[in-house]
Structures are given as C-alpha cells and as structure tokens.
Structure 1
Amino acid sequence: MVDFGFDKLMLIGAVALVVLGPERLPRVARTVGTLLGKAQRYVADVKAEVNRSIELEELQKMKGQFETAVTDVKSSVQAHVDSANQALQSTWADLSVDGSTSEGGMSGEGGYYGGPVPVYAHPKKNWRLKRGATPLWYKQRQGVRRHAQSGAARVARFRPPRRAS
C-alpha cells in the first residue's frame, strides 16, 4: 500500500493548484473523492465476497464432517440393534425349542401366570346417548346448543332488539 504522509499530500495539493487553477480544482477534487469512494466500496464488496466464499467452504467442510459423523452413528446404532435382535431371536428360538410357550408362556391361551390373556375390548361408551339422556330444561338452563346455527344467525339471535322511534 502506498503511504501518503501529510507532507506528500501538501505537495500534491500545491501541484494540483498550480496545474489546474483555482477555478477547476474544487470540481476535480469532488470527482476524485467520488472515484475514491467508489473504489473503496468496490474493494469492500470484493473483501465481503471473499469472506463469504471462505465461510461457505468452511460450512461445506463442516457439513461433510457432520454427515460422516451421522452415518457413523447410524451404522453403529444399526449394528447394536441388529445384535440385540439376533440375541432376542436366539432366546425366542431357545424358548420355543424348550416347549415353554405351549405351557403358558406368551401364546394366545395363557399368560405368564397360567391364566388366559385378556383381549382388549372397546369400552362401548356412547356420548350421544348420554347427551340425549339429559333433560331439555337442564340443557336450556346450561346453554347447551341443541341445533347447529350459523354465525350470522347466532349474532342475530343475541343482538339486542331495536327500539322503535
């Protein structure tokens, strides 16, 4: 970078004043200032673009490292799950070979304690029947809606009556 001290700037200003004259020097100074500003903005934009590309490359490297870590963890978890599944299958096969499932293991006819395994039955609760069993006078007092009503009808129903003038 070119180093301009105060003495060099004074020398350049004096030469410009002599060469250009006092009439054209302010206009040239404004033009030079504008060009220097544009050059500084261009350099700043180039620096920002370079920084963004460097950050993008770093993020892509981090993404690659993260993806490899994820695949490593996934493969290790899958290996553990497979080994546990194989152990479970071998234990299940050993139980089946021993004949313990027919004596009340986990088959359909008996549970762990020898009794029958209960089958899930839906609790047949009919909420419409319960709501229908409520008397109409109680529903009216509690404000339970008995019929579907549009929003406009509901507003009209609860709008105060107009006073006759």
Structure 2
Amino acid sequence: MFDIGFWELVLISVVGLVVLGPERLPHAIRSVSRFVSSAKSMANSVKDEISHELKVQELQENLRKAEKMGMEDLSPELKSSVEELKQAAREVQRPYASNKPEQTAQDVESEVSPTTTPSDVAASKKAE
C-alpha cells in the first residue's frame, strides 16, 4: 500500500521509541492501528455501497431498455422474471403498505371503543 520496507519500519520504530518513550509507545501503536483499521473499514463500506448503487442503476437501465424494445419478443421465463422485478420495485417503493385493502374510517371507529387500548387493537389485527 505505502511501499514501506523492513528498514523503514525499523527506523520509524526507533524514532517512535526515542520520541514517545517505552511507556507511551505501545498505547500509540494501538491507537494508530485502530485508526488505520477504522479508515480501511470505512473505505470498504463506501466502496461496497457505491458498487451496490451502480448495480441497481445498471439493472434499472436494462429494464428501461427492455421496456423500450418491447416486451413481446421475450421468452416466458424472462417475462415472469421482469414481472417479479417490477413487483419487487413496487414493494420497495411502498414497504409499509399492506396487501389488504385499506379500512374505512367507520371500520376503524367500530373496532376502537373508549375502553379499547392500542395494544388490544394490535392484538385483534394479529388475530385476523
């Protein structure tokens, strides 16, 4: 990475021993190694996130190209795969939307009475 050889490391160690002394040198080495490892992990996580975003962007672009070219030419397996991708994209856009039709305000009011607690409502929803 930095192209540091053995003799450079020996020189850095001797200078560190003279400047910091034998009591503070181990603590300084631990601090530097923690900093270097955290910097490496941060760089790796950023690299992974960028790679993931590029893959998602490429998939979206390929899907747009396929839609422009026309979906009639595709094989049945590919059509089903495209439909699954579209469904997954819809679910990601609305992760908290339920598959059930929304209840009307009257349905909610009929379920909740003045003596009903929020935990009772949640328990009745789970029972359904």
**1:36 — aligned with what?**
36
Q: Where do residues 69-148 of structure 1 align in structure 2 (5 Å cutoff)?
A: 69-71=69-71, 73=73
**1:47 — aligned with what?**
47
1:40 corresponds to which letter in structure 2?
Answer: K
Q: Where do residues 148-163 of structure 1 align in structure 2 (5 Å cutoff)?
A: none
Say whether residues 1:12 and 2:18 are aligned partners. Answer: no
Structure 1 residue ranges without an equivalent (≥5): 75-165
**2:95 — aligned with what?**
none
Rg (Cα) greater in structure: 1
- The 2-side partners of 1:25 and 1:54 are apart by 43
- The 2-side partners of 1:5 and 1:16 are apart by 17
* Greater per-residue helix proportion: 2
Identity of aligned residues (%): 38
TM-score by length of 2: 0.52
TM-score by length of 1: 0.41
- The 2-side partners of 1:38 and 1:69 are apart by 47
- What is the alpha-carbon root mean square deviation over aligned residues? 1.9
Q: Relative CO higher for 1 or 2, CA cutoff 8 Å, sep ≥ 6?
A: 2
2:26 corresponds to which letter in structure 1?
Answer: P
Q: Return structure 1 stretches of 4+ with deviation > 6 angstroms.
A: none
1:31 corresponds to which letter in structure 2?
Answer: S
- The 2-side partners of 1:6 and 1:47 are apart by 30
Structure 2 residue ranges without an equivalent (≥5): 75-128
